[in-house]
Amino acid sequence: MLVTMKRTVLTRAAEPRPQPRRRGRRAGIVIGVIAVLGLGATSGGVALGMIPQPFAAAPAPAPSAAPAQPSGTPTPSSAPVVNEPTSTPTPSATASAGRIPTDCRSVVPASEYDRLFGDLPLQDPAGSPWGTDTDDPVPGMFCVWLDPQGDGSNISIGFGTTDPEWVPTTDDGWACVPQDGGHRCASAVPEGTGPRDTTSTFFIKGGTYIGITQTNAPTNGLLKAIEQQVWG
């Protein structure tokens, strides 16, 4: 009888269950199988030890309360429900690649253009492609505002795309900090001749970057204005 019971249990355990993908239900099935196997071993030991006394088999129904154990198995089934949503916030870390402006006059909002560039004339309103003959990534656009007096005052702005994980390092002379979901890097290099200083600002977010170089042409809020045009 013990052998028959174990075979029956193993056969039932091998049968497919309605929801095999839920680890909680699977855990409940495993617990139920172990409980039934334990019951079979216990009742078998009693039966083998008490064969000379036919009436000794009566206590066997006592462990009948054990099958009630699977009733608690639905409890673990709720665990995967709690664990599954924890993985959903991961995509939120992905930053938007943004949209590179199509011409140099649209790199900042129209209402901010005169305030930021002042009397510096734009050399090429359509912008110039860059990176085709260098290691810089393409497609991109390069814009230059140059002082007509020839004193070297100018603003140049470049756009391009690259690896979203790449950030300039201190070995290259950059100091980078997190900003607006991306990284802002700055580098200031004194010209050495005359009262001119060149300040370079680099911002990368979602694989799109902005490079700004200003010589003797300080501005207030230029990067923020460009970010608004690229990422909205």
Number of domains composing the chain = 2
* Final residue before a domain boundary, out of 40, 65, 89: 89
How many residues are listed for the chain in this entry? 232
Q: Which of 89, 123, 153 is the last residue of a domain?
A: 89
**Residues of the domain holding 164:** 94-231
Tell whether 26 and 118 lie within a shared domain. no
Q: Tell me if the bond preceding 85 is cis, omega within 30° of 0.
A: no
Structural contact between residues 147 and 128, judged by C-beta atoms closer than 8 angstroms = no
Domain check: are 58 and 133 in the same one?
A: no
CATH no. for residue 129?
A: 3.40.1000
Q: What share of the chain is helix, strand, coil (3-state, %, to 5)?
A: 40, 20, 40
pLDDT digits (tens, 9 = 90+) for 132-190: 444 544 457 899 999 777 788 899 999 999 888 888 888 878 899 999 999 999 986 65
65 with 102, same domain: the answer is no
Are 44 and 99 members of one domain? Answer: no
pLDDT at position 195 is 53
Domain boundary among 89, 112, 129: 89
One domain, residues 19 and 45 = yes
How many angstroms separate the CA atoms of 109 and 117, rounded? 12
Q: What is the pLDDT along the chain (232 residues), one digit of tens a residue?
A: 333 333 433 344 344 444 444 333 332 332 333 233 333 333 333 333 332 333 333 444 454 544 455 455 554 454 455 555 444 434 345 678 889 998 999 999 999 999 999 989 998 877 766 544 445 444 578 999 997 777 888 999 999 998 888 888 888 788 999 999 999 999 866 555 555 678 999 999 999 999 999 998 999 999 999 999 999 8
Q: Within 10 Å of residue 53's Cβ, how many Cβ atoms?
A: 9
Same domain, 71 and 145: no
Q: In what order do the strands lie in the sheet with 175-179?
A: 141-146, 154-161, 208-215, 197-205, 182-190, 175-179
Same-domain check for residues 221 and 171: yes
